[in-house]
């Protein structure tokens, strides 16, 4: 089958850890045809279908020059067997516009994963609000007084933007409240931008766990991203150390509850972020950690994902 990956530039892939590359590699071993484009290459014009200037690639097996470009063509998205939306955040206006184009492509017959409507309806930090049973004390606001009151109640808090990724823009303010005003003013742009504030969870020292769910079923291993060198952030992009481990009892409980709900909404692949026993994010744009879990535990995450994709396309 022909698979189109909507992703960041291929030249930016770090193939030793990139989950989209792991998907490509697994699909290629099964004889599937690999195509790729960037969001800006997707266009629509009245009288036609949603199209993209895309390139067909073959994997070389090399670490650096990891693909050969076999063909460049403009093709309708409905002409592919599957379109995988794997563009990394930020979830900004341009990302949103891309999902609308992908929704139009669906109307024309394209099969898009994750479904673009589901992407729009599950902003990764705000999606947890639907499941208050599993989350830590959390505030969503752009009001400075509300931030101060939340800190006064919980004393040790994390502040973060709603559109960040990889640990960008995350700050911890301890009991002394040092720089709380300055940090809140910066993140909210003086009250013009909404942020999230959460009670600090000491369990971060054991890692920010990424739990993957594929078509409603949890992968039995998580990647605990453990902060290093005095950092409060466990994100791999922020220097965290990734340690794969079996899911805990609470991990299973959260994943088994959310999995079927999210799958029914068109989310084939989801990455839950869990600290201790608390859900902190629901990642739906381009969940990662495939290769780290596979390399450390011998459980083929990409294989399971392509199995699920093939089953969806056969249904």
pLDDT > 80? residue 238? no
* Strand pairing class (2-6; 82-85): parallel
Q: Which of 35, 34, 52 is nearest to 43 (CA)?
A: 52
- Tell me what pLDDT residue 168 has: 81
DSSP 190-227: TTTS-EEEEE--GGGGG-EEEEEEETTEEEEEEEEEE-
Q: How confident is the model at residue 86 (pLDDT cuts 50, 70, 90)?
A: very high
Copy the structure tokens of residue 174: 């301890």
The whole-number average pLDDT for the span 179-190 is 95
- Tell me what pLDDT residue 155 has: 96
The whole-number average pLDDT for the span 250-273 is 98
pLDDT > 70? residue 230? no
Copy the structure tokens of residue 164: 């960040």
Which residues participate in catalysis according to the annotation? 125, 160, 210, 225, 233, 273, 281, 283
Find out whether the peptide bond into 92 is cis, omega within 30 degrees of 0. no
- Tell me what pLDDT residue 233 has: 65
pTM of the model: 0.94
- Tell me what pLDDT residue 175 has: 95
State the CB neighbour count (10 A cutoff) for residue 283.
Answer: 22
The whole-number average pLDDT for the span 30-47 is 98
- Tell me what pLDDT residue 237 has: 67
pLDDT > 80? residue 239? no
Q: How confident is the model at residue 47 (pLDDT cuts 50, 70, 90)?
A: very high
pLDDT > 70? residue 279? yes
- Tell me what pLDDT residue 91 has: 85
Q: What is the mean pLDDT of the chain?
A: 95
pLDDT > 90? residue 169? no
Instruction: 250-255: list long-range contacts, CB under 8 Å, 24+ apart.
Output: 250/274, 250/276, 250/277, 251/209, 251/211, 251/218, 251/222, 252/218, 254/134, 254/211, 254/279, 255/211, 255/213, 255/218
pLDDT > 70? residue 243? yes
Cβ distance 207 to 191 under 8 Å? no
Q: What structural domains does the chain harbor?
A: 2-114 (3.40.50.20), 137-200 (3.30.1490.20), 203-314 (3.30.470.20)
Phi-psi region of 190 (alpha: psi -120 to 50; beta: other; left: phi over 0): left
pLDDT, tens only, 102-159: 999 999 999 999 999 999 999 989 999 999 999 999 999 999 999 999 999 999 999 9
Cβ distance 157 to 199 under 8 Å? yes
The whole-number average pLDDT for the span 214-218 is 98
Cβ distance 95 to 89 under 8 Å? yes
Q: How confident is the model at residue 92 (pLDDT cuts 50, 70, 90)?
A: confident
- Tell me what pLDDT residue 89 has: 87
């Amino acid at each position: 089958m022909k698979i189109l990956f909507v992703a960041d530039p291929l030249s930016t892939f770090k193939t030793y850890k990139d989950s989209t590359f792991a998907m490509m590699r697994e699909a290629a071993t099964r004889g599937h045809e690999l195509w790729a484009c960037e969001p800006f290459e997707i266009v629509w014009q009245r009288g036609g279908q949603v199209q993209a200037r895309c390139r067909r690639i073959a994997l070389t097996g090399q670490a650096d020059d990891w693909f050969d470009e076999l063909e460049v063509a403009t093709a309708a998205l409905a002409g592919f067997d599957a379109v995988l939306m794997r563009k990394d955040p930020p979830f900004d206006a341009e990302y949103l516009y891309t999902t609308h184009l992908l929704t139009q492509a669906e109307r024309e017959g394209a099969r898009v994963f994750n479904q673009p409507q589901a992407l729009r309806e599950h902003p990764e930090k705000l999606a947890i609000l639907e499941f208050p049973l599993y989350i830590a004390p959390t505030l969503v606001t752009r009001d400075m007084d509300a931030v101060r009151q939340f800190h006064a109640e919980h004393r040790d808090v994390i502040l973060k933007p709603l559109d960040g990724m990889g640990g960008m823009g995350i700050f911890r303010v301890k009991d002394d409240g040092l720089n709380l005003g300055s940090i809140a003013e910066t993140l909210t742009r003086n009250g013009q931008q909404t942020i999230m504030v959460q009670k600090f969870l000491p369990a971060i020292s054991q890692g920010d766990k990424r739990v993957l769910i594929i078509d409603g079923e949890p992968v039995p291993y998580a990647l605990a991203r453990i902060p290093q060198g005095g950092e409060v952030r466990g994100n791999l992009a922020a220097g965290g150390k990734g340690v794969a481990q079996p899911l805990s009892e609470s991990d299973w409980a959260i994943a088994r509850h959310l999995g079927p709900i999210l799958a029914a909404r068109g989310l084939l692949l989801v990455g839950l972020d869990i600290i201790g026993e608390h859900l902190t994010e629901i990642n739906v744009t381009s969940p990662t950690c495939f290769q780290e879990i596979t390399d450390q535990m011998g459980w083929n995450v990409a294989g399971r994902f392509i199995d699920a994709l093939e089953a969806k396309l056969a249904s």
